[in-house]
Amino acid sequence: MEYEYHCLARGYTKKTMINKRQEYKHLYNFLSEKRGINELESITFHDLRAYIRFRQQSGIETSSIHSMAKQAIAFFNDTFWTWICRRHRYCS
């Protein structure tokens, strides 16, 4: 539900929300099945680079890879800083 509120606050269309959710599912499946990662804190920059290479090798267009990479980076930047903020009690 939080994801939906986030998307609505950013003005995303329903189609954009569906596309982003689908990309996150691809990322999750890759990380859990190919890299054996089950916790957000365990994901490294190298894991994300491996995902991008994996998607490139699957024949996805360069523009789609670029959009997907920006989406993943934005997600992890937001998530990482939120996690740091909460861990160090800068926010609740």
Q: Where are the alpha helices (DSSP H) in 35-92?
A: 45-57, 62-87
- Alpha-carbon torsion, ordered 65, 63, 61, 76, to 10 deg: 10
The predicted structure's pLDDT at residue 31:
93
Mean pLDDT value across residues 53-61: 89
Q: Contact at 8 Å (CB) between 38 and 28?
A: no
Banded pLDDT at 1 (limits 50, 70, 90):
low
